[in-house]
Structure 1
Amino acid sequence: MFSIEKHDDGEGTVTLNLSGQFDFNAYSEFKPKQTEALDTPGAKFIVLDLSRLDYLDSAALGTLLLLREKAQDRGIEIVIRGATGVVQEILEIAHFQRMFRFID
């Protein structure tokens, strides 16, 4: 099961909490939340909380790169929080630490 929850702190940080498995099949769920986060008035940061994510595939990696590109066009920074286990390993192998800021 894949789920996304959006939280706007009212101070420019929008958090997308992802859980389950983020793969090609989950894109249709992710896209509207991504758009909603990008369209949040005053957004400066989108935090992707991956602490409850169990797995992501290459389609998900591509989706995150596209999100980063769209966010940069709007002056929004994408931040990754809480990646652990296999998710952290996949992000490291893909060298996401070079393209995204990671926080605990």
Structure 2
Amino acid sequence: MSVSAEVDSCSRTVTISVVGTFGFNLVHQFRRCYVDKREYQFTIDLRKVDYIDSAGLGMLLNMHNYLEQSDGDIRITNTLPQVRKVLSISRFDKKFEIE
């Protein structure tokens, strides 16, 4: 289980990829990917996430709140059906662009 970030300084974008269960054990790794990058646009790639728990949802909300004052967009992409269902039930489609 890990988190990695690919930063493109020219286009001011960051793609964050999460592998495994998206939960509390990734909180520090995930936060490091977006702190001090308020002017960037973010894509969170969940193609390798098979489960997201309440801590994972909380991390997404913390990221949204941290970046809220900027012009940055946050897109969540490549979700497996079971992860998309949790995001939908939690109404995350109101705060994030989910593809």
- Length-normalised TM-score, structure 1: 0.83
Aligned partner of 1:75 in structure 2 is 71
The residue type equivalent to 2:31 in the other structure is: K
Aligned partner of 2:44 in structure 1 is 48
Please give the root-mean-square deviation of Cα atoms over the aligned residues, in Å: 1.6
Aligned partner of 1:21 in structure 2 is 21
Report Cα offsets for 1:7-31 as digits up to 9, x if no partner.
1232122100111111112212222
Q: How many residues align?
A: 98
Report Cα offsets for 1:25-62 as digits up to 9, x if no partner.
22122222232xx427x51x100001111111111101
State the 4+ residue runs in structure 1 displaced beyond 6 angstroms: none
Distance 1:31 1:99 in 2: 18
Distance 2:25 2:48 in 1: 18
Identity %: 29
Q: Would you say 1:6 and 2:2 are equivalent positions?
A: no
The Cα shift of 1:75 comes to 2.0
Distance 1:59 1:83 in 2: 17
Q: Does the 8 Å contact 1:4/1:16 carry over to 2?
A: yes
More helix by share: 1
Corresponding residue SS for 2:68:
helix
Q: Does the 8 Å contact 1:68/1:77 carry over to 2?
A: no
Aligned partner of 1:94 in structure 2 is 90
Corresponding residue SS for 1:34:
coil
Distance 1:28 1:70 in 2: 14
